[in-house]
A = this chain, B = another copy of it.
């Protein structure tokens, strides 16, 4: 199951337009077909509208969940200075599935990975980054008592589990799958084992059951390595399932949202104020509209490439009918780019106002979520 990291999609370098059909083949994953997609109706738009394009055993996971078998969700976070909308994708998916199936959600915070990979990042800084991120995640509304957040540098018992997975991952596997280089530090060599321990953590913690891991396709190598060892007699676990999200473009429309530009103008941060949101969307959100008012009225806009429409579709307009109307009005030229943008600005600011309130409340809730 080892593969050379010959294509561009390794976990540490992704910033380009992607041929998803090709990726499905290259990564040996399964496309989410119509039947599976249809079963996601009623969930958060991030799940119901095709952002997740491929999977491993997601059908089996859903089937287990629907039968009332124990299932869980695992979605980690490499802590960063602050979160933007794009970062929320797997958590919105996880929360929506938790709401539907009342299952446990596990969120490991890999302060260690950041520390190993970012040469200049000091240990104390890596620790600090985590806390703010954790508050943002709690603010999304995960269920206390069913949601477990842990940081590798705080919940150090994770080392016991990582040691167990480490014993079953050779350096050559780690190297081939993750593109490790000899000059990389040995923390980095070890991290694939830590990641596998994260993915298997729900089973270490609560016994054998199926865990779903929402990830970017670039993270699939972690899943594959973990699936390869899950059934080893050391563990006797279920292979984890996975769903793979498309790379969500930045406001500029040209790259993955995680490729934040130096001024942070191409993404909407969770702490952006109303004026900033308005300015960023007005100035930078790539438009599918025409160059002149007259031309737009005549020929209409292109919602498929319009970032404002895409953000409404993926994140902010759950009502299918309303979304369809926006789509049709924009496409026909009835709705102008400025009007479309205004809808998004309002939706984003409503969301952020609510989020920022909840984040303050999260300060008091944090102990209900954190494993120590």
Residues of A at under 8 Å CB distance from B?
Answer: 112, 115-116, 122-123, 152-153, 156-160, 163-164, 166-172, 174-175, 180-190, 192-193, 234
Contacts and interface: CB of A to CB of B under 8 A. Distances in A.
Contacts of A153: 159-160, 163
Contact of A163 (B115, B170, B184, B193): B115
A190 to B, nearest CB: 4
B166 A185 contact: yes
A187 B172 contact: no
A171 B156 contact: no
B166 A156 contact: no
A172 B192 CA distance: 17
A123 B190 CA distance: 18
Contacts of A172: 182-183
B182 A186 contact: no
A186 B166 contact: yes
Secondary structure at the A interface, as helix, strand, loop or mixed, is helix
A321 B17 CA distance: 84
A171 B167 contact: no
A171 B159 CA distance: 19
Given A156-B159, A167-B185, A171-B189, 4 more contacts: A123-B160, A156-B160, A166-B186, A174-B186
Contact of A156 (B156, B182, B187): B156
A171 B116 CA distance: 12
A170 B182 contact: yes
Given A159-B156, A160-B156, A187 B175 contact: no
Contacts of A185: 166-171, 193
B187 A182 contact: no
B190 A182 contact: no
25 contacts: A115-B163, A115-B167, A116-B166, A122-B234, A123-B160, A123-B164, A156-B156, A156-B157, A159-B159, A166-B186, A166-B187, A166-B188, A167-B185, A170-B186, A171-B181, A171-B189, A172-B183, A174-B189, A186-B189, A186-B190, A186-B192, A186-B193, A187-B193, A189-B189, A190-B193
A183 B170 contact: yes
- Kindly list the 5 A-B residue pairs having the minimum CB-CB distance in the complex, ordered from nearest: A166-B187, A190-B190, A172-B182, A156-B156, A159-B159
A182 B177 CA distance: 13
A257 B351 CA distance: 70
A185 to B, nearest CB: 5
Contacts of A170: 182-186
Nearest to A153: B160
Contacts of A168: 185
B166 A190 contact: yes
Contacts of A166: 116, 185-188, 190
Contact of A171 (B112, B152, B184): B184
Nearest to A183: B170
Kindly name the residue among A153, A159, A160, A184 whose own CB sees the greatest number of chain B CB atoms within 10 A. Answer: A159
